Structure 1
Amino acid sequence: MKSEQHGVAKIVVLGGGPAGGATALGLKKLGYQVTIITQPRPFKAVEGISERVLEGLRNAGFQQALANLPAASPRMASWNGETNSANTERLINRSELDRGIGLDLQAAGVTVIDGRVDRVNSNDDGYAISVKTDADADAAAQLITADFLVEARGRSAPGAGLERLRGSETVSLLQYWQGVPCQPQSAAESFQDGWAWMAAWSDGTRYLQLTFDVASANLPDKSQLIDHCNRILRTLPSAEPFLDRAEPSGIIHARTSTPILCREAVGDNWIRVGDAAMAVDPLSGNGIFQALSSALQAPAVINTLLQQPERAALAKQFYQQRVDHLFYRFARIGRDFYASEERWDNPFWVTRRHWPDSEPLHQETDPASLKIETLPVVSNGLITAQEVVTTNDQPLGIWHLNGLEMAPVVRALQQRAADENPQDCLQQALGLNPQTAAGLTRWLYQNRWLATE
Structure 2
Amino acid sequence: MTEILILGAGPAGAAVALGLKRLGYGVRVVSEWRRFAAVEGVSQRVLDGLRQAGLKRALACAAAPSPRRVQWNGDGQSINQECLLDRPQFDAAIREDLRDAGIEVVEARVLRVESTGDGHLIHLDQGEPLRAGFLVEARGRSAPLAGGRLRGPETLSLLNQWQEQPGQPGSAVESLADGWAWMARLADGRCYWQITQDAGGLPPKEQLADYCAQRRGESALVRELFGEAALQPASLHARSSTAILFHEASGPNWLRVGDAAMAVDPLSGNGIFQSLSSALQAPAVIITLLQRPERAELARRFHQRRVEHLFLRFARTGRDFYALEQRWPEQPFWRDRRTWPDAEPMHAAADFSQLRVERAPVIHGDGIEEAEVVVTADQPLGIWHLQGIELAPIVRALQRGELTQALAALPEQPRRMVQGWLLAQGYRP
Report whether the alignment pairs 1:142 with 2:125.
no
With structure 2 as the length reference, what TM-score do the two structures score? 0.97
Report whether the alignment pairs 1:120 with 2:98.
no
Aligned counterpart in structure 2 of residue 30 of structure 1, from 12, 17, 23: 23
Aligned counterpart in structure 1 of residue 209 of structure 2, from 221, 226, 231: 226
* Corresponding position of 1:157: 143
**Could you give the per-residue CA deviations for residues 307-343 of structure 1, whole angstroms, max 9, x where no partner exists?**
0011111001100000000000000000000000000
Distance 1:171 1:435 in 2: 51
Whether the aligned pair in 1 keeps the contact of 2:210 and 2:233 (CA below 8 Å) is: no
Distance 1:68 1:283 in 2: 23
What code does the residue aligned with 1:425 have?
A: Q
What code does the residue aligned with 2:268 have?
A: S
Distance 1:427 1:231 in 2: 66
How far does residue 81 in structure 1 lie from its aligned partner after superposition? 0.2
CA gap of 1:331–1:437, structure 2 versus 1, over 3 A, is: same
Report whether the alignment pairs 1:101 with 2:94.
yes
Q: What SS does structure 1 have at the residue aligned with 2:382?
A: strand
* Corresponding position of 1:313: 297
* Corresponding position of 1:138: none
**Could you give the per-residue CA deviations for residues 344-399 of structure 1, whole angstroms, max 9, x where no partner exists?**
02100000000000000011110111111000000011000000100121110010
Aligned counterpart in structure 1 of residue 12 of structure 2, from 10, 16, 19: 19
Whether the aligned pair in 2 keeps the contact of 1:178 and 1:249 (CA below 8 Å) is: no
Distance 2:338 2:60 in 1: 39
CA gap of 1:435–1:293, structure 2 versus 1, over 3 A, is: closer
Aligned counterpart in structure 2 of residue 176 of structure 1, from 143, 158, 161: 161
Whether the aligned pair in 1 keeps the contact of 2:37 and 2:87 (CA below 8 Å) is: yes
Within-5 A mapping of 1:325-340: 325-340=309-324
How far does residue 449 in structure 1 lie from its aligned partner after superposition? 5.0
How far does residue 223 in structure 1 lie from its aligned partner after superposition? 2.2
Whether the aligned pair in 1 keeps the contact of 2:12 and 2:138 (CA below 8 Å) is: yes
Aligned counterpart in structure 1 of residue 272 of structure 2, from 281, 288, 312: 288
Name stretches of at least 5 consecutive residues in structure 2 with no aligned partner: none
Aligned counterpart in structure 2 of residue 426 of structure 1, from 406, 410, 414: 406
How far does residue 70 in structure 1 lie from its aligned partner after superposition? 1.6
Distance 2:365 2:156 in 1: 42
Distance 2:405 2:392 in 1: 14
Whether the aligned pair in 1 keeps the contact of 2:61 and 2:89 (CA below 8 Å) is: no
**Could you give the per-residue CA deviations for residues 175-230 of structure 1, whole angstroms, max 9, x where no partner exists?**
11221111111100001010001011122111111111123xx2111222222221
Distance 2:183 2:64 in 1: 18
Whether the aligned pair in 2 keeps the contact of 1:180 and 1:246 (CA below 8 Å) is: no
Whether the aligned pair in 2 keeps the contact of 1:206 and 1:242 (CA below 8 Å) is: no
* Corresponding position of 1:211: 196
* Corresponding position of 1:377: 362
**Could you give the per-residue CA deviations for residues 155-179 of structure 1, whole angstroms, max 9, x where no partner exists?**
120032x101000000000111221
Q: What SS does structure 1 have at the residue aligned with 2:380?
A: strand
CA gap of 1:202–1:61, structure 2 versus 1, over 3 A, is: same
With structure 1 as the length reference, what TM-score do the two structures score? 0.92
Report whether the alignment pairs 1:391 with 2:371.
no
* Corresponding position of 2:327: 343
Q: What SS does structure 2 have at the residue aligned with 1:362?
A: coil
**Could you give the per-residue CA deviations for residues 237-274 of structure 1, whole angstroms, max 9, x where no partner exists?**
21113441325464321000000000100100000000
Distance 2:199 2:417 in 1: 53
Aligned counterpart in structure 1 of residue 421 of structure 2, from 443, 446, 450: 443
Q: What SS does structure 2 have at the residue aligned with 1:113?
A: strand
What code does the residue aligned with 2:194 have?
A: Q
Whether the aligned pair in 1 keeps the contact of 2:138 and 2:256 (CA below 8 Å) is: yes
Aligned counterpart in structure 2 of residue 74 of structure 1, from 55, 64, 67: 67
CA gap of 1:369–1:307, structure 2 versus 1, over 3 A, is: same
What code does the residue aligned with 1:369 have?
A: Q
Whether the aligned pair in 2 keeps the contact of 1:177 and 1:243 (CA below 8 Å) is: no
**Could you give the per-residue CA deviations for residues 5-59 of structure 1, whole angstroms, max 9, x where no partner exists?**
xxx1100000000000001111111211000001111010100001111111111
CA gap of 1:427–1:337, structure 2 versus 1, over 3 A, is: closer
**Could you give the per-residue CA deviations for residues 390-430 of structure 1, whole angstroms, max 9, x where no partner exists?**
0121110010112111110001111116xxxx5x33245xx
What code does the residue aligned with 2:418 have?
A: L
**Largest Rg, 1 or 2:** 1
**Could you give the per-residue CA deviations for residues 280-301 of structure 1, whole angstroms, max 9, x where no partner exists?**
0000110000000100011100
Distance 1:297 1:212 in 2: 33
Whether the aligned pair in 1 keeps the contact of 2:39 and 2:87 (CA below 8 Å) is: yes
How far does residue 130 in structure 1 lie from its aligned partner after superposition? 1.5
Distance 2:176 2:145 in 1: 34
* Corresponding position of 1:137: none
Whether the aligned pair in 1 keeps the contact of 2:61 and 2:93 (CA below 8 Å) is: no
**Could you give the per-residue CA deviations for residues 88-126 of structure 1, whole angstroms, max 9, x where no partner exists?**
111111111111111111111211111111221113530
Q: What SS does structure 2 have at the residue aligned with 1:190?
A: strand
Report whether the alignment pairs 1:48 with 2:28.
no
CA gap of 1:425–1:202, structure 2 versus 1, over 3 A, is: same
What code does the residue aligned with 2:19 have?
A: G
What code does the residue aligned with 1:384 have?
A: E
Whether the aligned pair in 2 keeps the contact of 1:176 and 1:249 (CA below 8 Å) is: no
CA gap of 1:435–1:193, structure 2 versus 1, over 3 A, is: closer
Please list every run of at least 4 consecutive aligned residues from structure 1 whose deviation after the TM superposition is greater than 4 angstroms: none
Over the residues paired in the alignment, what is the CA RMSD in angstroms? 1.4
**Deviates further, 224-233 or 342-351:** 224-233
Name stretches of at least 5 consecutive residues in structure 1 with no aligned partner: 1-7, 134-140
Distance 1:450 1:41 in 2: 51
How far does residue 69 in structure 1 lie from its aligned partner after superposition? 2.7
Q: What SS does structure 1 have at the residue aligned with 2:281?
A: helix
